[in-house]
A and B are shown apart, each in its own frame.
Chain A
Amino acid sequence: MDVTPRYLGAGSFLSRRDPRVLLLVPVLYLVAVAGIADLRAVLLCAVAALLYYRAAGIPWRGVRANWAFMLTFTTILVVVNSILTSTDTRAGGNSEVLFTIPVTHSAITWTTLSYAAAVFTRYVTLAMVGFPVAFNIAPSDLGVAFARLGLSQRLAYGVDLTFRFLPSTWASLHETIDAQRIRGYEHSRSRNPVKRLIALKPVVVPVTVNALIDAEDTVNAMDLRGFGGRHRTWMRELAFDRADVLILAGFCAVAAAMVAARFLGLTGAVWVP
């Protein structure tokens, strides 16, 4: 199943927006939810994230593998760090101990569970505002979007090229795995990480070397076309429309409100129902 970035949300409300909006919203949202321990505040932000994700119109079947990985990884992370161990927990205060984890002896209170739920919701909503960057920006718009955000023209073009190379690299990887299987390659089942790494050489090395050899042609083509000249222009002209400004203003307001609430000490404490 292909999990690389694709233009899945074509035609949706978000894909019609200026691509800079889709790049700036995750930054503003991260500022808004960073360091919030109060579940109610995170849920308030989650409403904005959910509406934003719905506007992206990304078909479920196209991203279910990404969501499956994200939810599995996040669940393990939160359960291990915030419930089973005390790596990322908050003190229980006077909360009643509901039960104790047998091996780690961690006392589980309503505070523990509320904080774990806040962290889990924070991670899931960050994915909601992050996925449109991968699936709602037309590949040809990425370079100009980064350039107009102030990144060097050459590096902006590099980001553009990276996203264009992803599908061919993914295809090349699968071709190489199939070709090596015909030659008798089998994925290592060893529990020894060194043996498993060595067993991956027949896949990693040819994929990398083939990509590098093909890249020489791209370098020559770009040199022949005078890449790197002082006055680079882009085919696409970007301009914010009213909807873009409203979306950015909305997320700026959410970020400003949450930062203010954090400084006033309103969202730093864990909410216990």
Chain B
Amino acid sequence: MIASIRSVLQKIGHRVIDSVWRMGFAGRFFLLTLMHSGTCFRRFHLILREVFSAGVLSLIIILVSGLFVGMVLGLQGFETLQTYGSEEALGILVAKSLVMELGPVVAALLFASRAGSAITAEIGLMKATEQIAAMEMMAVDPIARVVAPRFWGAVISMPLLAALFSAMGIFGGYLVGVVLIGVDNGSFWSQMQAAVSFDRDILNGVIKSVVFGVAVTTIALFEGFDAPPTAEGVSRATTRTVVTSSLAILGLDFILTAFMFRGV
């Protein structure tokens, strides 16, 4: 009896200590990445390659999802606004919800599952095939050569992808609202412009997407770097990347939104 309680307590304690240890390691890893950023900006072609694999290759999924999210918003919003006789406010509804919330959040979720998982799998496999150990043997710092360029490539891509998502979504809302249903074109745009302000809505959206980019990329890089060097370990790390970064995005979104509305 006492032995079984003791073993349960030991397991819980082990879990807690292990996760605190991991958190500390992740923090040091993040700081090291930032410290090695200077050298990786001197080798800019490395960053360019990561912008390609994180940003350009995510373009299609971002653009198509943005278009469909905007189209759904247009349809749903029209149905609801119609009951109040204010269909012209469709532009405000589509633009505000996309620019402030859906654009950064959905783009970041897609980015986590498309680019984040790829980063984790790549680095995990590099570790499993001992490429990272080989680099250390040759006195090449793997953080500076492998991690930092991926970090900056993804952090640069994320706000651009979120902006493309929002723009595409607004185009989708326009397509459904104005072209298909027949909301007045002029009032769609003019009401939107009157309600959406650059410094309060659009800039906040950009700030959100930068924060999400940093969070997703850090989690993906760390999970890859910390993965057990086996096939199973890499697959688990990839799954954990998607789950952890999705939760982090939603939690951070709440915190950021709460702070941004305080200021108004």
Query: Is chain B a partner of chain A in the same complex?
Result: no
